[in-house]
Structure 1
Amino acid sequence: MKFLSLKNLVQSAVNTIKRYPFETFFALAGTIAATAKIELDNLNRVSENWCMRAIMIANLGFLLSLSATLYTQSKSWEAGKKILVKIAAAVIAMLLIFMINPPERQADYTRFFLLSLAFHLMVAFAAFTNKGQIQGFWQFNKTLFLRFLACMLYGVVLFAGLAAAIGATNFLFNFKFEADTYQVLWVWITGMFTTTFFLAGVPTDIPALNEDEGYPKGLKIFTQYVLIPLSTVYVIILLAYEIKILIEWKLPKGLVSNLILGYAVFGILSLLLVYPIREQNENKWLKTYTRSFYFLLIPLQILLFVAVGTRVFSYGITEFRYFLIVLALWLLFISLYFLLFKKQNIKIIPISLCILTLFSIYGPQSAFTMSMYSQRGMVVNFFKKHNGFKDGKLAPVDSTKINMHEGSLGASRLKYFIFRYDLKELQPYFKRDLNGITDSLARIKDEATNLPVDREELRLMKYQWAKKQLSLGRFNDYYYPGADESDEMPQDRTYIFSQNDNVTVIKGYDIELATDQNADTVINNYNGIRITQIHSNSTDSYILSLNNETLKFDPLELVNKMMADTTKMEKYHDPKGKDNHYTPKVYNLPSGLMQITKETPGYTIVFQFSSIYFERSKKGGADISNVSGKYLIKIK
């Protein structure tokens, strides 16, 4: 038996670096950038942002360079031409750093993921662009998959061993290795060790792969007895659900889209894994299974189109819904291809998915452009509906003429848009220069750290600025029916008590005092009266002290009292609001029912609520999430 020596390991690493110089360069650059980001965490936001972008470009550069290397290896080109193609791929990857800026544009995280996915798919078929080569294509990707699993196993074991050694030196010799030491260790193991190990196992003899008829027995057992049974269980459940909604004639739940895609992934993966042995006599049943899989996928795709279309028509397009639509169309194409054509080429799966992914990243047809225009249109439509759109620009609305439910929905849509796409995308509808506004807000420093505010805080400041400019200040933004969280019915149902008239008669009272939801304690003085407001987040109660007289107001008491009389409450239920699991159930109550009155020897105090947001669990308990209102005080 020949044992590995240090000399052989070094020589193997050197040979790998010589064979894949561009890939090694990007791996090293990404590793150094990740190390720098760990060291700069929360110290220098600008440098940290550049490190993040460098990490992403290193990932994309590695994949694109590997694709170029594999492609040129499959061609009988001169060495100079091969080098030019590799250099071109590396330059294209490096130029992407000027296009991808996730710290400033949140959507660029998704763009990076899509580019990475497309380049991963490109690696899968880059060496097999000629006709045929199906067996070699399958063997190549099987080898890469198993090599990747081995890399992860070795990397985890190596990290665990070295981390234990560092911990032991800390304990035995009182060394001061900090927590970030382990992070740096993991970065270098995954960035350099596992990457080099993976590259060393990438097949180079493509013709030999085309002649390889070997098939791992363990893979056959895993596919036949795990993946195929799982996909069968999936399809039975989904078809039963489809029959159920046809009988009940109601719209499908949004989560069914994820289940259908899960079934498609399980099924297609299992079919790809058994592709080389489908012609063997003992596996003839695989052809029947393949046809039945794609045939049963078609009615499920109809269900997928209905589920996605329902949300698109109600709440507009988002990136998530765009991808669902594109994947549904792709699945339909793949299903028809494998059902109608006898000569089937499994290379069409990664090739078509790669093209479709690239198609959805940039351009007017991309997910981001189409969803941005759709969501911006919903924001604009809200202002048009409430007379807040003049001469092609957004204008302040009269918030007193908008009920709490409608106003909160508009505020939530505005917040979603700014957080997702940034304030500057509303520039066509503002006269003021939004880039200048953004620069001004970005210069504001955190009072506690004296550092620029973080990205989330900056997004919030942009939203608050726009909300103030458009007179949406009195509305909350606790929900948005177009967001892409799970569409399942929540464990707790959200409700809103909203005052149905915007005028409160205050005749006979001496003091009107607004509550402050964001402050724990507020102190005012009026004609020698010291007025102290206290808001307790732990109990959701409001305490008002007038000199030495103290009163406690608990909105939960009002909520429980009102909700106890379900018959009476239905009279106030807002029929205009969409009463489903996306939105709260809204009750528009007269001002007389939206108040708590209490007496002291010196004062009569009314807590007049304008809105109360709360949740009720299935067991009936209520939890207050937000309250707005004012105190009316009469001096006796």
Structure 2
Amino acid sequence: MTFPSLKNLQQSLYRVLKRFPFEMLFAFIATLASIAYIELESLNYLKESWCKRVLMTAVLGLVISLATTLFCESRSIKTPQKFIYNLIAALLTALLFFAFDPLVNAADVVRFFLLALAGHLLVAFAAFTKLDAIQGFWQFNKTLFLHFLTSMLYSAALYAGIAAAIGAMNLLFGVDFKHDTFYILWVCITGIFNTVFFLSGVPDDFSKLNQDFSYPKGLKIFTQYVLIPLATLYVVILLAYEIKILIQWRLPKGLVSNLILGYAVFGILSLLLIFPIREKAENKWIKTFARTFYFLMLPLLLLLFIALGTRISLYGFTEPRYFLTLLACWLLFITFYFLLSKKQNIKVIPISLCLLTLLSIYGPQSAFSVSTYSQKTILLRIFKDNHAFENGKFVRINKISKENGEKAVATLEYLVSHNNFEVLQPYVTQNLKTVSDSLSKAKDSYGHLRTSRYEVQDQKMRWIISYFGLKKFSGQRFYFDHADQDEQKHYILNNIKQGITVVNGYDFIIDQTNINYNDANSHYIIDKISIETAVKKPGILQIRLADDIAIFNINELTGDLIKQESKLKPYLQKPDGDNPPQYILPSAFLSFTKNTKNFTITFEIKTIEFSIDKSKKNVELNYTTGIYLIKKKK
């Protein structure tokens, strides 16, 4: 593989900047936003959200600007007017920044991918809106696809070379390049180099493409001997399964939807790839395959609609089920179109899919509105059936079956995780906007602001489940302190000296950060003394110094502390919502010493989180850190 010369790169960059100024501006903004996101990840989730919004907007801006440019060029619109069209498209895209809020609304991430899909589909046909441009449309998309693969290959090779050089500098010269350097490098290569390289290969003579009837032989071989056999394999399996359903008279399994979509993807892709050579005398089998493919789609689509209808009737609409239903309807339309239409225009495929994608993003018919309405209806039915719906509001549930309780929690989880917290406001008397703001600013059990959307979302779920009296149905998905039930009680104990280690009187210390796991073994050599630390089983630590062995039972220490819980009360910190009780204890409470023949060894716990049953006998460790303090005997 040969790379282009620096002169060619310079000329390509100039042509790209001249032809695609808006696209490159958005690519540059997206690259900067990605770098900022990498640096801020898990440090400040509010600023991280801003980076995500800028990145999402810039990516969409690039795609929409490209579609606008291609449309203008195909219509021979002059440069000043083309600039105005692109400016309008850029400003409209910039408004999406204010519509996106992935920190609060997870559905905005899905909306972004849907808009990106619609934008890519728009690029596919933006330059070929005239009815007689089918051949040019096919050649244009073939060129884009092959050039995209080439640009990704060049980018990957460039990244591998530079990354290897950075790794060599770290190894040979002791340069301290952090791991995020490699992420930033990949972002810069894909954001700038890959974009420039790809845009440099976008065709600009669309009329010439319409007269181009060349066809890669390798493409026909790939389609004929790879894609079509795969599609045939899928349809044989599916038809056999359909016969089995008819014989046993059972409802189809959910997996059948994926198989049918797989068959549809391989079949339609195969037909698109061999479309230009369908009329040649030696390729009569293509028309036979096409009609057979679409005829076989009809019984499979019937099976797909039955599978979807069964699950929707039981569990309601969710976004995945909505999209599956939408795809099923689209496949039904495409099937009838290609079976009945005499003039088969393959541009119908991206155009119709683009329109359906846009319809699914916003509005009452969108995936999110339909799914939210469906799940709220299910939740409303549960509360009404359990006499917890008064004056148009949900009230605390006093008595509910396990099945309905778990279903209510699952439905609440779906609504909160896929929408704004305030989606439940019509059914709740308390102001959820105020609650949401309060939870977003609340500190965790260590006194830190929460650093990710998932932590904030978890807080909202815990609050709403507690509000409706559904704690006991939360299972393992959300943590609650069930001290009033016959379950485990949870504790967090912190050493008052956490972060500070006084080493006077000791020869050396050994830090232990993952001592809950049986494989947390380490080996050291200090002053010619061989030292091994090990976890014999959860809560039982062993340290070997040469021939001396000391064993520390953390379970026994924590058990003794909880049996004398009254002594801990002066050190109890202010409660933090439903979080477990947290104590900041003197070091003497959290350390114990063992004497061996040649050493005095103290193990000092820094932080420990654990659960203990009602009898205060069985301890289950969740998280523990500590240090060994070792002194040689004279």
Q: Which residue of 1 aligns with 2:366?
A: 366
Aligned to 2:52: 52
Could you tell me how far apart the structure 2 residues matched to 1:513 and 1:396 are?
Answer: 18
What is the correspondence of 1:137-286 to structure 2 with a 5 Å cutoff? 137-286=137-286
Letter in 2 for 1:476: S
- Which residue pairs with 1:312 in the alignment? 312
Q: Secondary structure at the match of 1:474?
A: helix
Measured in 1, the distance between the counterparts of 2:102 and 2:616 equals 48
On the 8 A contact 2:488/2:613 being kept in 1, the answer is: no
Deviation at 1:629, TM superposition (A): 9.8
- Opposite residue 403 of structure 1, the aligned amino acid is S
Distance 1:520 1:219, change over 3 A: same
CA distance in 1, matches of 2:560, 2:162: 65
Q: Conserved in 2, the CA contact under 8 Å of 1:49 and 1:103?
A: yes
Measured in 2, the distance between the counterparts of 1:245 and 1:74 equals: 51
Map 1:53-132 onto structure 2 (within 5 A): 53-132=53-132
Question: Structure 1 residue 244: deviation in Å?
Answer: 0.5
Question: Number of paired residues?
Answer: 510
* Alpha-carbon distance in structure 2 between the residues aligned to 1:32 and 1:513: 51
* Residue equivalent to 1:375: 375
Q: How many angstroms does 1:516 deviate by?
A: 3.8
Render the CA deviation track for 1:393-449: whole Å, top value 9, x for unaligned.
Answer: 0011113xx233332222232223222223210000111111001011111012436
The alignment's TM-score, normalised by the length of structure 1, stands at 0.76
2:486 aligned partner: 515
Q: Distance in 2 between matches of 1:148 and 1:314?
A: 43
Instruction: Tell me: CA distance 1:4–1:117, structure 2 relative to 1, closer, same or farther (3 Å).
Output: closer
Contact 2:441-2:449 within 8 A present in 1 as well: no
Contact 2:16 2:199 (C-alpha < 8 Å) held by counterparts: yes
SS in 1 for 2:474: coil
The structural deviation recorded for 1:472 is: 1.6
Shift in Å, 1:283: 0.4
Q: 8 Å contact 1:412–1:478 — kept in the other structure?
A: no
User: Are residue 470 (structure 1) and residue 441 (structure 2) matched?
Assistant: no
Structure 1 residues 180, 632: CA separation in 2 closer, same or farther (over 3 Å shift)? closer
Partner of 1:434 in structure 2?
A: 432
Q: Unpaired runs of 5+ in structure 2?
A: 494-516, 519-536, 539-554, 564-610, 618-634
Aligned counterpart, 1:417: 415
Instruction: State how far apart, in whole Å, the 2-side matches of 1:94 and 1:251 are.
Output: 47
Instruction: Tell me the distance in 1 between the aligned counterparts of 2:30 and 2:489.
Output: 43
CA positional deviation for 1:131: 1.4
- Which amino acid in the other structure matches residue 519 of structure 1? H
Displacement, 1:3? 9.9
Instruction: Find the aligned partners of 2:120 and 2:260 in 1 and give their Cα distance.
Output: 23
| Alignment map for 1:291-310 (pairs within 5 Å) | 291-310=291-310
Residue type of the alignment partner of 2:192? M
> What is the rounded CA distance, in whole Å, between the counterparts of 2:477 and 2:40 in structure 1?
35
Task: Rate the CA distance shift 1:3–1:196 in 2: closer, same or farther, 3 A.
Answer: closer
Partners of 1:425 and 1:43 in 2: CA distance:
28
Aligned to 2:581: none
Q: TM-score, normalised by structure 2?
A: 0.76
TM-superposed CA distance for 1:120, in Å, is 0.3
Q: CA deviation at 1:119?
A: 0.3
> In the alignment, residue 33 of structure 2 is paired with which amino acid?
A
Deviations, residues 356-392 of structure 1 (Å, cap 9, x unaligned): 0000000000000010011111111111110000000
Match for residue 11 of structure 2? 11
What CA distance in whole angstroms lies between the structure 2 residues aligned with 1:48 and 1:110?
Answer: 18
- Measured at CA, do residues 336 and 177 of structure 1 come closer, stay the same or move farther in structure 2, by a change above 3 Å? same
Judged with a 3 Å threshold, the aligned counterparts in structure 2 of structure 1 residues 632 and 101 are, in CA distance, closer, same or farther, namely closer
Task: State the AA in 1 paired with 2:284.
Answer: K
Contact persistence 1:227–1:266 (CA under 8 A): yes
Paired with 1:387 and 1:9, the residues of 2 have a C-alpha distance of: 71
Q: How far apart, CA to CA, are the structure 1 residues paired with 2:202 and 2:92?
A: 23
8 Å CA contact 1:408, 1:478 repeated in 2? no
Q: 1:164 to 1:388 in 2, by over 3 A?
A: same
Mapped partners of 1:373, 1:408: distance in 2 = 19
Query: After superposition, where does 1:397-412 map in structure 2 within 5 Å?
Result: 397-399=397-399, 402-412=400-410
SS at match of 2:128: coil
**Residues 221-255 of structure 1: per-residue CA shift (max 9 Å, x gap):** 00000000100110010111011011100110011
User: In the TM superposition, what is the alpha-carbon distance from 1:455 to its structure 2 partner?
Assistant: 1.5
Partner of 1:452: 450
Residues 45-86 of structure 1: per-residue CA shift (max 9 Å, x gap): 221111111111111000000000000001133333222111
Q: Percent identity?
A: 53
Matching residue's letter, 1:423: F
Aligned residue type for 1:448: Y
Match of 1:589 in 2: none
CA change 1:166–1:453 in 2 (3 A) is closer
The C-alpha deviation readout for 1:291-313, integer Å capped at 9, x for no partner, is: 00001001100000000110100
- Find the counterpart in structure 2 of residue 508 from structure 1: none
Could you tell me which residue of structure 1 aligns to residue 350 of structure 2?
A: 350
CA separation in 2, counterparts of 1:435 and 1:4? 56
Q: Secondary structure at the match of 1:519?
A: strand
Q: Secondary structure at the match of 1:334?
A: helix
Amino acid at match of 1:70: L
Q: Distance in 1 between matches of 2:134 and 2:190?
A: 31
- Check whether the contact 2:359–2:366 (CA below 8 A) recurs between aligned residues: yes
Closer, same or farther in 2 for the Cα pair 1:453/1:145, shift >3 Å? closer
What is the CA deviation profile of residues 472-522 of structure 1, one whole-angstrom value per residue up to 9, with x for unaligned ones? 223234699xxxxxxxxxxxxxxxxxxxxxxxxxxxxxxx97434352699
| Structural RMSD (CA) | 3.0
Q: 1:365 to 1:518 in 2, by over 3 A?
A: farther
> Equivalents in 1 of 2:110, 2:371: separation in Å?
13
